[in-house]
Amino acid sequence: MIALQNAFGPWRPDVDPAERLARLRAMRAIARVTLGPRGDAFTETLRKAETDPDQLGAHPAPARSPRGA
């Protein structure tokens, strides 16, 4: 569990459902732009979290590219 003072984005417990949805979609867009196809699993988890908040508990880490690639 994330302490309230450290919670941000869609993890804040006091966020309105519409705001949580907006934050998830913003995070997904940023992840897609910055990670590209490497972040497919992460962006898919964010998409699923739009309708299933339990998806926010754990998500796969984005694949890391080899050094120098």
* Whether the Cβ atoms of residue 33 and residue 26 lie closer than 8 Å to each other: no
- pLDDT for the residue 47: 93
Q: Report the C-alpha gap between 11 and 59 in whole angstroms.
A: 13
Q: What is the pLDDT of residues 11-56, one digit of tens each?
A: 777 778 888 889 899 999 999 999 999 999 999 999 998 888 788 7
Q: Report the C-alpha gap between 65 and 69 in whole angstroms.
A: 6
